[in-house]
Every structure is written in C-alpha cells, then in structure tokens.
A and B are shown apart, each in its own frame.
Chain A
Amino acid sequence: MSLSEEEVRKIAHLGGLAIRDENIPRYAQSLSSILDLVNQMEAVDTAEIQPMAHPLDAIQRLRPDEVRETDQRAEFQPLAPQVENGLYLVPKVIE
C-alpha cells in the first residue's frame, strides 16, 4: 500500500495539520509502511465477529440530568493565548 503525496496532503488537511512541503515525502513513506503493517489484519476472516468497543462490554453509565458544575470561567481564561472581556479571541472570521 502506497499513499501518494496528494493523499497525504488531503489527510493532513482532514486532521487539521499544516505540514511543510518538504516533510510530505517523509510522511508518505512512513504512513505507507504503517498501512502495510495494518493491512496484515486482512489475513483473518472476521465476517461473523462482533466488534469490541469496550474491554468489559460495559454500557454507558447515566446520571440524573442536573447541574453539577459551576461557572469557572475566571479560572479557565488565564490559560488562553488571547482573551478580552471574558471572550476567547481568534482572527476575524467574517470580513
């Protein structure tokens, strides 16, 4: 299995990663070799097998739908790269 450089660019885009052009061939090569490893899975027939989502086949625990957390914005905002008036700032989205 061999990924083209174009496919790597598309995957990087989907994964939200800006990758430098000079690194694309390197990623194409290593991702292709990982897919070769992964494709060893094809050796076994799994048509009748139930997929396993949780090691103990546990189901999602539910709790009463009630408010438990208080507003902690004052604690979270100092972690952000850029804030103003309690808002998180990002580059302008609409011109």
Chain B
Amino acid sequence: MHKASVAELSAALKARKFSSEELVRAHLARIHAQDSELNSFITITETEALAAASQADRLIAAGEAGPLTGIPLAHKDIFCTRGVRTSCGSKMLDNFVPPYDATVVEKIANAGMVVLGKTNMDEFAMGSSNENSYYGAARNPWDTSRVPGGSSGGSAAAVAARMTPLATCTDTGGSIRQPASLCGITGLKPTYGRVSRYGMVAFASSLDQGGIMGRSAEDTAWLLSAMAGFDPKDSTSVDRPVDDYVGGLNQSIEGLTIGLPREHFGEGLDPEVGAVVEAAIRQYEKLGAKVKEIDLPNSPLSVPAYYVVAPAECSSNLSRFDGVRYGYRAKHTKNLQDLYTRSRGEAFGEEVQRRIMIGTYALSTGYYDAYYLKAQKIRRLISNDFRQAFSEVDVIMGPTSPTTAFPLGERTDDPITMYLSDIYTIGVNLAGLTGMSIPAGFAGGLPVGLQIIGNYFEEARILSVAHRYQQVTDWHTQAPPDAGSQA
C-alpha cells in the first residue's frame, strides 16, 4: 500500500480492495515502526485519523467519494488545525491548540483526506536543516546521521520513508524544495498567492507560500488541485481560475526550451551534484527539449537581500507573541515589560531571536533606507532577471541545493554556511515564482534534486515537465531502507 500512487490508492479504495481504515492503519504502523528514529512527526493524530478514515469509508460505500477521499496525508505543524496542537516547532506554541482550521486544512478535510499527524519543522520555519526545532531534529531516512533539510524537514522525511503518501509544507526561501531534494522526493512551491496563507503561521508574509510534498509529480498534482484557489480570508490570495493540474500532466514537452542559469552551475556547486543534474538535463534533450544558457546576473544578491526582507517581516510578524493571549508565558515576572521580554527570550530559540534582531535592526530609524528599501529594490532586479529569462525560455532548470544532505551538527554554529544551502532556491521566493524539486539521481548514496522553475501560475506546466521525466526514469520510486531495520 505504501508504494502505490495516489491514483492507484484512490482506485483501490473505490474498488473496495481495501478500506481507508486499513490504508490509514498501514501508514500508522509504518510511523510507529520508524518515527522514534526519524522524529518526523511532532504530533501523531491516530484517534482522529481512524475516525476520519471510517467517515471516508462510509462516503466511499455511499458512492459519494471524491478522488482524494480516504487518502492519508500529514500537515506541517505550521498549519492551524482546530483542536490539535499547532506548535510551529517552537516552545512558544508548545501549548497552542488553535480554535480554527487553516484554509488549506479545511479544503483538504473537505476533500475527504485523512490527517495522520503534524510534521516536524525548524522553529517558525526558520532554518535549512530542521535542527532549529524545539522538538529535536528530524533525521534523513537515507542516512540518519544527516539532516533532512528544512524547514519542512519532517514532511520530507515522512514522505521519503513512506510513512505518508503526501504532506503539506511551506516555502519562504526554499523550505519545500531543499528538503525535497535532500530526501529524494518531489516538492512543489506554488506561485505566491496560489495557495491560501490563512491559518498558516506567518514568518515572512511577502514570501511564505504553502505547497506539497509527494512521491511523484502526479501525486503532487492531485493534492495541489485540492489546495489551490482564491481565498477571501487571505488578502494576498490571487483571484484567478485554478488550472487542471492532473489533466494537464500529459502535455508534450517536444520543443520545450529549458533555460540553464550559468550562476547556478558555478563555484560552490558540488561537482557530483552538478554531474547528476547535467545528466537529467541530457535526458530532457533526448525527450525533445531544447537547452539554452541564460543569465540571472543579480542572483548572487538573492541571499543578502533575502536576509533583510525575511527577518524584517519576521520581526514584525513575531511581535504578536507576547505571552498575554496565548502561547508561552514566563514565570514570576516583575511587570508587563518583563513579562513580554522574558516570555520571548525564554521561548524563542537562537535562530528565531537572531532573525528578530536582524529585522529589528534593518527596520530601525536611520537604517531603513540602507537595508529594507535597498533589499526591496534588489528584489525588483532579481524579479526582472527572471522576467527577461522567461521571455526566452519556457522553464528554468538547475540544481536545487549545492550539496547533498549534510551531517547533523555540521552547520549549526555557522549561520552563513547554513543560509547558503538555499542559494539556488531563494530567488524564486523573492520573485514570487513557482518551483519544484524532483529526484534526479544520487551522489555518494544520497539523493540529488533537480530544480524546475516556472513562470507565474505555470504550476501545470512544470508539473507536466516533471511528470514526463518521471515516466522515463525511476529515481522517484526509489525508497530508503526502512528506519529501525538498518543494521
């Protein structure tokens, strides 16, 4: 059951080959067997999952099921779930049980899907290794001494270890694509505004976007169909029709022009990773695509600009956590100021505090023009580079991450090296484009991801481009040995 595609699972449920309850129990059993080692879940919602599976089975029996009814998935612990703790990987929200559902959670529940639990993540989605979680790091199922990537590391590890066929996740600077790459799965970050941010705990509001991890582009297309769409409750949601992502999967790629940014193949790229990515691009040429070298001249400035914009927005968004209405409160406080600052000082981890301080500094009197305004201007330049590129090519490809999964602890004392893990992904967020990572092979036994960047709202196109590759390769079907069974 844990190897079948979503379409196969859906057909088997409708044909009554097995029930949703049996499907859900099989995945829960895989979670119980592996997750003490992988730590990819913060909360497992077994009771709720079994109740939802029974309800799905009733709908299937009554002939009222949709394509995703009864299919299990996991939510990143950043999406508010009514009645189920939503920690965002932070001590601050360790006791927070939301009184409402995020729009994404509501849409997925309306599709009849079954939530297995809430996945591990870097605190407030700030990190590239999952090591900033209050609940400890999730592990990479391909090598448990290594990171799964971040911030959506728990979702990536859970999908890679076949504990769930699908997971929700979020991407502010690469938090879907980089862990998908490091764990050898498919991850999609939609265009900014395509998926509602309502009920998704905010980190950097002009960059945050919810998305999907799955085992294939096809499975990902199914879940995107359930998640995408206009939401009046999110003021940045875009009101435009949702494409037929599943129906569009078999678009031809004959004559497709692929842009290869020189800046993504230069210094800093692990040569073995580069070789895997180049082989994937040759595969596309065999399939009838054309390749063209392009320039994204301002891309070296994407990491510097991001580390102004994201912390600035984070310092503003996280000012709501004050220990008064919800969340952690420090004990024995002397006065109101002491309550605010000690609650925040005790409950936020080091990376979150670092980013609040950088953001506070960048927005403070006398520094705003030099930092925030400058970064927003550079953001325009980066966005213009992509516009120019998309006037010449249909999609852009390159490595998702400069390296494969790195050892736990290797970069925790060096924030700059950690930040550079996202050097190829951050530009997509600054411009607001859509991007994917798909498995393209292995280097030193560890997965390598191919990044596919699409123009605004071209999710259907990049999904079909990814799907074409997955029809002629089997990297996406390769799974790590089950955790707990390794010698």
- Contact between B307 and A50 (Cβ–Cβ < 8 Å)? no
Q: Name A52's contact: one of B315, B319, B325, B380 (CB within 8 Å).
A: B380
Q: Contacts A11-B360, A80-B325 given: A51-B339 contact, CB under 8 Å?
A: no
Q: Is B242 located at the chain interface by the 8 A CB criterion?
A: no
B215 interface residue (CB < 8 Å to A)? no
**Is B235's beta carbon under 8 Å from chain A?**
yes
B391 to chain A, nearest CB (A): 17
Q: Report the bound CA distance from A81 to B361 in whole Å.
A: 30
Q: B301, B326, B338: which contacts A43 (Cβ < 8 A)?
A: B301
CA distance A33 to B416 in the complex (A): 7
Q: Is B14 an interface residue (CB 8 A)?
A: no
Whether a CB of chain B sits under 8 angstroms from the CB of A67 is: no
Contact A55 B432 (CB under 8 A): yes
| B88 CB to nearest A CB, Å | 14
Per-position 1/0 for A42-55, Cβ under 8 A of B: 11101001111111
Is B308 a contact partner of A14 (Cβ separation < 8 A)?
Answer: no
Question: CB of B334 within 8 A of chain A?
Answer: yes
A49 touches B232 (CB 8 A): no
Residues of B within 8 A of A14 (CB): 360, 364
B118 CB to closest chain A CB, in angstroms? 17
Whole-angstrom distance from the CB of A30 to the nearest CB of chain B?
Answer: 6
Interface size for B (C-beta < 8 A) is 69
Which chain B residue shows the least CB distance to A20?
B345
Q: Mark A8-33, 1 if CB is under 8 A from B, else 0.
A: 10011111111110000001001101
Contacts of B342 in A (CB 8 A): 18
Residue B357 lies at the interface, judged by CB distance under 8 Å to chain A: yes
Q: Are A51 and B376 in contact (CB under 8 A)?
A: yes
A interface, size bucket: 35 or more
In the complex, A38 Cα to B311 Cα: how many Å?
11
Q: Which of A35, A37, A44 contacts B298 (CB 8 A)?
A: A44
A70 contacts B by Cβ under 8 Å: no
Q: A76 to B348: give the CA distance in the assembly, Å.
A: 22
In the bound assembly, the distance between CA atoms of A5 and B356 in angstroms comes to 16
Grouping DSSP codes into helix (H, G, I), strand (E, B) and loop, the B interface class, with mixed when no group exceeds half, is: helix
Q: Is the CB of B338 within 8 A of A91?
A: yes
Per the 8 Å Cβ criterion, residues 11-61 of B in contact with A are none
CA distance A53 to B300 in the complex (A): 20
Residues of A within 8 A of B319 (CB): 16
Question: Do the beta carbons of A54 and B206 come within 8 Å of each other?
Answer: yes
* A80 to B97 alpha-carbon distance, docked (Å): 11
Residue of B nearest to A50 (CB): B380
Which listed residue, A15, A42, A52, touches B383 by the CB 8 Å rule? A52
Q: Does B479 contact A (CB under 8 A)?
A: no
Give the interface centre of A19, A38, A76, A93 by most chain B CB atoms within 10 Å.
A38
Chain A residues with CB below 8 A from B326, complex form: 76, 79-80
Q: Give the distance to chain B from A63, nearest Cβ to Cβ, in Å.
A: 7
A38 adjacent to B193 (CB under 8 Å) = no
B456 at the interface (CB under 8 A from A): yes
* A-B CB contact pairs (8 Å), 22 listed: A15-B360, A16-B322, A19-B345, A31-B358, A33-B416, A34-B358, A41-B378, A43-B301, A44-B298, A46-B381, A50-B377, A52-B377, A52-B383, A56-B192, A56-B432, A56-B456, A58-B193, A80-B325, A90-B339, A91-B333, A91-B334, A93-B336
Known: A17-B344, A54-B432, A79-B96. 18 other contacts (CB 8 A): A18-B341, A19-B345, A30-B354, A41-B374, A44-B381, A46-B378, A49-B380, A52-B376, A53-B376, A54-B206, A55-B206, A55-B456, A56-B432, A60-B235, A79-B326, A80-B326, A81-B329, A82-B329
